[in-house]
Amino acid sequence: KELFSDFEKDYGIKHEYLDHEGVYNRAVEQGTKAAKKLRRLQKERNPGGKEIWPRGIYDASSFGIFPANSPFTIHITMFVDVLKGQGTPEQVEKWVGLAENCNIIGTYAQTELGHGTNLRGIQTRADYDRKTQEFVLNTPCLQAYKWWPGGLGHTANYANVVAQLYIDGENKGIQMFLVQVRDLETHMPLPGIDIGEIGKKIGMHAVNQGFLGLKNVRIPRDQMLMKNAKVMPDGTFIESPDTKLTYMTMVYTRCLIVKMDSVYLLEAATIAARYSAVRRQSPINPDDPEPQIMDHVTQQLKIFPEIASGVAYDVAAEQVLEYYNETMQEINNGKYTRMPEAHALSCALKVLCTTDACAGIERLRLACGGHGFMTAANIGNIYGNAVAAYTYEGENTVLLLQIGRFLMKSWSYLVEGKQMLNSVEYLRQGQEKNSFQKWDNSWECIINAFKYTAAHKTRIAFESFSERMMAGQTQPEAFNNSGIELTQAAEYHGRQFVAEIFCKAITGPRSANFSPPTKAVMETLVELYLVHITLRHLSDILRFIPLTEADVKSLQRRLEVALQKIRPEAVALTDGFDFDDRVLNSVLGAYDGNVYERIFESAKMSPMNKKPVQDSFETYLKPFMKSQL
Amino acid sequence: KELFSDFEKDYGIKHEYLDHEGVYNRAVEQGTKAAKKLRRLQKERNPGGKEIWPRGIYDASSFGIFPANSPFTIHITMFVDVLKGQGTPEQVEKWVGLAENCNIIGTYAQTELGHGTNLRGIQTRADYDRKTQEFVLNTPCLQAYKWWPGGLGHTANYANVVAQLYIDGENKGIQMFLVQVRDLETHMPLPGIDIGEIGKKIGMHAVNQGFLGLKNVRIPRDQMLMKNAKVMPDGTFIESPDTKLTYMTMVYTRCLIVKMDSVYLLEAATIAARYSAVRRQSPINPDDPEPQIMDHVTQQLKIFPEIASGVAYDVAAEQVLEYYNETMQEINNGKYTRMPEAHALSCALKVLCTTDACAGIERLRLACGGHGFMTAANIGNIYGNAVAAYTYEGENTVLLLQIGRFLMKSWSYLVEGKQMLNSVEYLRQGQEKNSFQKWDNSWECIINAFKYTAAHKTRIAFESFSERMMAGQTQPEAFNNSGIELTQAAEYHGRQFVAEIFCKAITGPRSANFSPPTKAVMETLVELYLVHITLRHLSDILRFIPLTEADVKSLQRRLEVALQKIRPEAVALTDGFDFDDRVLNSVLGAYDGNVYERIFESAKMSPMNKKPVQDSFETYLKPFMKSQL
């Protein structure tokens, strides 16, 4: 906390009142100052210990200290990681130090104007010139312009560029090339480099995302990252022995995204909970004073399930990260069986968390009524930063379809009696209709209901898919035409997983560390989470499991009881997340609860209020009012 | 269209790159120029005819020609309307001409920092001073500051201020006072007036919403609007004979909101449909070229139901406007019976349309992948403008609870055998369980299923409410504790209504005007709409109606067939909405489909790209990179 004490407040004017250039220039100032400060603190307080830099910048950008994020985030994370992970020992030796010391600033240039998710469609090309032992990089058409890399606009002077490698005109697939894009002294774009920023976006305003066109840009042979595939001086191409490890990097990245978006969700929930404890509106009994709006049950329903959901995703991400580490150990020992399941789980988690977190953040903003519409509430900004993850690192629908493919494969294994991966063992329940245990209202029963429903959703998707093939469609056509049912099955694959993981984490051996009051609150959160998602997914559950009206009514009452139980704990619970006021950056959600004073103070700080009359009055408004329109 | 030909494009820089003041000052310039131009065209082309001004400004602001809306919108609509509707003939004579000619610019100041929806909680007070025959207006505390009125910040010099009237210290309820807030010559705030703007918001950036504090501000007696309640010179208070007409104004306003948000939804759908016809991604059959993304069934599901939904709401709003006119005629003849039902229907429509339109717009933005995140896609801006209506003119949950109250009353009429209003006749079906007709898959059957489900949701809410009262809770407490079920019942009250209205409009006598191809497309939209909402609401439908697995499967297939049928019509259908490129204002959704060229051109126009190196390079970035961090 101390590290970031003076990072935004010393500027007097909030970032949202700066113009586009102003936001960027301030972000460069803040980022460079922050880096130096973190390094100094590292040396003073933690010499030789775990580095707080650069992780500190990543945290500051991702969780709100830098409310507009930072042009350095991609440099700190992906640029450095990719050099380390895909460079030869010589390349790591030569470049990683420069990058970690920020002597060069880099970015990761993969997505193009015309291609994102379908990586194979990338059109940027790198032709090997045997005579000079160089690669010649080109952007063959407008759609092949690199588009979106963070920091590429005006910050980076290097980029890891993803391109199709050609040797003697023959395509050798996608490789990575380290390209210098700006002069180290003047920062001017180098010859053949067409570079700039892509314009304003609805969030992440300081990330300085850029475009890049290349025209006959030459780089030496040793600037293709060659840990895996290699090009020899004479042009011989040596294929990568294994591409599976890069695949696992995506698993890891997706877990980080889930951590990030679950935190954003909990930030928004904290703001809405605090505001709802201060705002008073509409007496419940006509003669009583106006209650805190949190006493309205409909308001509780808007806030408390989001708290439960944020905690559930946070717990689930931890779990998948552990699973990732185990899988990586197995992979290092040459065992790859778990990989598809790690991939499917991380995809499902990423899709569900970003979907639920974004919808939740917006519900929480709307739960703050009109005041949530003010920029100073900061929930809009949190949303803008959180929602980017819905479409990046694998667009959500595309990921669901990949999970769908995994489920189809798993189902055919089941049908064929082959061995199943642990995470899809539950599919067996889909083989027999009307086989669900008696509904007994327990948590276990609810989790089983999700597994059972997920299994039957997979069965139905498989049946549709098979019917279409039998009717003469090709497999890909049948797959596309069954897309709706496949994505639904994929969603349930994630739902049953998160429900189980969350419940186990709170009831399992780890919960021994909880104090009794903490355990009680956490158990109420699990109860709320499970009952709430059950009621939300009755559409499918009721198709397969014959709940009675009394069962549904009982779930509804349990929902109401859980909300009631959380009501007195809600503010303490969100205080417990320990978000600094600077992180929440919200007039509605500060720790002291001085909502109205803060709103008013913030409005007074709007630059428009610095002068009582705006320039347009004399120029346009006065003549207009006098003109006898 | 011609009217607005040069309103934004002549400025060279798009509004999103201006700072907060710049956006405002340009909006004043554009608004005043537009008003003069519209008046001139009115005189030239349509002398004595239906006024295109001021309606033209309202349309331009509401539907996208002014992408940041306008500081004059409230003046043109509510300020003038309230003077006309609530002023005495003398007041109308004195003020309406000045307002319509824009010799004065006004706003409507009702909401306060601490009170919005609960109008009775308004704290601004107006004390009558018999000696001087003046009202003395005061803001007694911070929370009583007026907050949110459009144009109040730096534009208006008058405001209709809603305040508690006190005569001899006795409260006479809420009245409206016309208060001058700025000097007509200098535009400086008048003595006792604390005025400014409330700061940036997540949409409607040019509306110049403001705050207002009043300290002993005196206005003459004849500036209380006295069409209804009156204060005589000697301080005698004459109560309003009837407050019901102001109540009907809200019905009208809500229909306008539904028209507005359904248009916003169709704008976003047009952008997403056009982009999906240009963007190519991920071959369906591995050896085929990449298809338009609209060929992916999952993409169709994201776009086509939103088109159907936008058309349905537009049709429903027309219907309620007609119903409004009929009700007003009845009221003028002294018959008030229909009023509660008009109120409940308009509330339901406003809630459902703003909820569905906003969720739909955001889904459509996400359907454009990463590129939807760019400001230049304009869907984010459309969302920001549309979503404001979720919380204004009656916050959605509060409105649902009002409908819930109406439904509880209607149900008790039913139980007591009293006469029912037409719009709730369907509730009878809730009296008997398991009484639904055989499911036959027809449109009529689906609409009946919604009515039947709505009736049973109301029954369940009523049972919960009654049980709680019998358990000793007061009526308001029981109502609050049953809030979740009440809001759900209220939602279904609206759903069954919209489904029926939409279906009737397309199949009923009016459809005789459609050409056969139009009728065919419209019928496919109805099919899609009905099947889609049925699948989305199975959670409740399945509780009350025993659909078989085969029934559900058949609905799923019908959904897929409807999507397939719309696929070849989709672009033509959205072209048919005839949105001008200037209205859509989107690089992704222009009529010519030159998506990539427009994205690139727009990025090049970002002010940051006017110079190759930003100022922060020499100041911060270069020293940082050289510093051996």
Q: In order of start, what are the domains of chain A with their CATH numbers?
A: 2-70 (no CATH), 103-240 (2.40.110.10), 248-573 (1.20.140.10)
Q: Are A229 and A175 in contact (CB under 8 A)?
A: yes
Strands B217-220 and B134-138: antiparallel
Q: H or E stretch including A486?
A: helix A483-507
Tell me what the mean pLDDT of segment A96-107 comes to.
95
**What pLDDT shows up at residue A47?**
79
Q: Are A22 and B19 in contact (CB under 8 A)?
A: yes
Contact flag A616-B24 (C-beta cutoff 8 Å): yes
Which residues on A lie below 8 Å from B546 (Cβ)? none
Tell me what the mean pLDDT of segment A577-592 comes to.
94
Residue B384 token pair: 């920001």
Label residue B546 exposed, middle or buried (CB < 10 Å: 0-12, 13-18, 19+): exposed
**What pLDDT shows up at residue B238?**
96
Q: Is B606 on the interface with A (CB under 8 A)?
A: yes
Residue A2: band (very low, low, confident or very high) from pLDDT cuts 50, 70, 90: low
B453 assigned to a ligand binding site: no
Among candidates B344, B467, B334, which has minimal Cα distance to B409?
Answer: B344
**What pLDDT shows up at residue A58?**
78
Residue A488 token pair: 């639904």
| Per-residue CA distances from B538 to A519, B453, B492, B531, B532 (Å) | 36, 10, 12, 11, 10
Strand-pair partners of B170: B167
**What pLDDT shows up at residue A243?**
66
Q: Are B373 and A391 in contact (CB under 8 A)?
A: yes
Contact map slice: A 26-85 vs B, CB within 8 A: 28-29, 32-33, 35-36, 39
Q: H or E stretch including A109?
A: strand A106-109
Q: What is the SS3 assignment for B178?
A: strand
Tell me what the mean pLDDT of segment A2-31 comes to.
79
Residue A91 token pair: 């390349």
Q: Is B552 on the interface with A (CB under 8 A)?
A: yes
Of B393, B485, B491, B523, which is the active-site residue? B393
Residue A11: band (very low, low, confident or very high) from pLDDT cuts 50, 70, 90: low
Angle value at C-alpha B124, between B119 and B126, nearest 5 degrees: 115
Tell me what the mean pLDDT of segment A59-65 comes to.
76
Residue B123 token pair: 């704290």
A534 assigned to a ligand binding site: no
**What pLDDT shows up at residue B118?**
82
Q: Is B520 on the interface with A (CB under 8 A)?
A: no
Label residue B325 exposed, middle or buried (CB < 10 Å: 0-12, 13-18, 19+): exposed
**What pLDDT shows up at residue A504?**
94
For the question of residue B444 being annotated catalytic, the response is no
Label residue B2 exposed, middle or buried (CB < 10 Å: 0-12, 13-18, 19+): exposed
Q: Are B515 and B405 in contact (CB under 8 A)?
A: no
* A24/A29 Cα distance (integer angstroms): 9
Q: What is the SS3 assignment for A548?
A: coil
**What pLDDT shows up at residue B274?**
98
Residue A149 token pair: 């890399």
Q: Is B104 on the interface with A (CB under 8 A)?
A: yes
pLDDT at A476 over 70: yes
Q: Are B33 and B8 in contact (CB under 8 A)?
A: no
Strand-pair partners of B305: none
Angle value at C-alpha B207, between B316 and B365, nearest 5 degrees: 55
CB count within 10 Å of CB B146 equals 28
pLDDT (tens digit, 9 = 90+) per residue, A108-141?
999 999 998 788 899 999 999 999 999 999 999 9
Best of A278, A531, A609 to substitute, by most chain B Cβ atoms within 10 angstroms, is A609
* B281/B296 Cα distance (integer angstroms): 9
Q: Is B560 on the interface with A (CB under 8 A)?
A: yes
Q: Classify B221 in phi/psi space as left (phi over 0), alpha (psi -120 to 50) or beta.
A: alpha
Residue among A556, A619, A629 whose CB faces B485 most closely:
A556
Residue A221 token pair: 């042979």
The string of DSSP codes covering A144-162 is GSEE--TTTTTT-SEEEEE
Phi, psi of B200 (to 5 degrees): -70, 155
**What pLDDT shows up at residue B496?**
98
Contact flag A187-B376 (C-beta cutoff 8 Å): no
Strands B125-129 and B210-214: unpaired
pLDDT (tens digit, 9 = 90+) per residue, A72-96?
999 998 999 999 989 999 999 999 9
Q: Rounded to an integer, what is the distance from CA A587 to the centroid of its chain?
A: 25
Q: Is A289 on the interface with B (CB under 8 A)?
A: no
**What pLDDT shows up at residue B530?**
98
Residue among B602, B622, B626 whose CB faces A199 most closely:
B602
Contact flag B480-A401 (C-beta cutoff 8 Å): no
Low-confidence residues of chain B, pLDDT below 70? 1-12, 53, 243, 245
Q: Are B454 and B494 in contact (CB under 8 A)?
A: no
Instruction: Give, to the nearest 10 degrees, the angle between helix A516-536 and helix A483-507.
Output: 160
Q: Classify A69 in phi/psi space as left (phi over 0), alpha (psi -120 to 50) or beta.
A: left
pLDDT at A582 over 70: yes
| High-pLDDT (> 90) share of chain A, % | 80
Among candidates A556, A513, A517, A530, which has minimal Cα distance to A451?
Answer: A530
Q: Say how many CB pairs under 8 Å bridge A and B.
A: 378
Residue among B201, B373, B616 whose CB faces A388 most closely:
B373
Selected residue with higher pLDDT from A323 and B178: B178
Phi, psi of B396 (to 5 degrees): -60, -45
**What pLDDT shows up at residue B355?**
98
Selected residue with higher pLDDT from A77 and A277: A277
**What pLDDT shows up at residue B361?**
98
Q: Is A170 on the interface with B (CB under 8 A)?
A: no
| Per-residue CA distances from B90 to A187, A189, B97, B222 (Å) | 70, 70, 12, 9
Strands A210-214 and A193-197: antiparallel
pLDDT at A473 over 90: yes
The residue with tokens 């979720």 is B390
Among candidates A368, A277, A263, which has minimal Cα distance to A583?
Answer: A263
Instruction: Give, to the nearest 10 degrees, the angle between helix A483-507 and helix B297-332.
Output: 90
Buried b (16+ CB within 10 A) or exposed e, A155-175: bbbbbbbbbbbbbeeeebebb
* A156/A70 Cα distance (integer angstroms): 12
**Rounded to a whole number, what is the distance in angstroms from the first to the last CA of chain B?**
58
Instruction: Give, to the nearest 10 degrees, the angle between helix A396-415 and helix B297-332.
Output: 120
Among candidates A98, A97, A59, which has minimal Cα distance to A77?
Answer: A59
Q: Are B431 and B414 in contact (CB under 8 A)?
A: yes
**Rounded to a whole number, what is the distance in angstroms from the first to the last CA of chain A?**
58
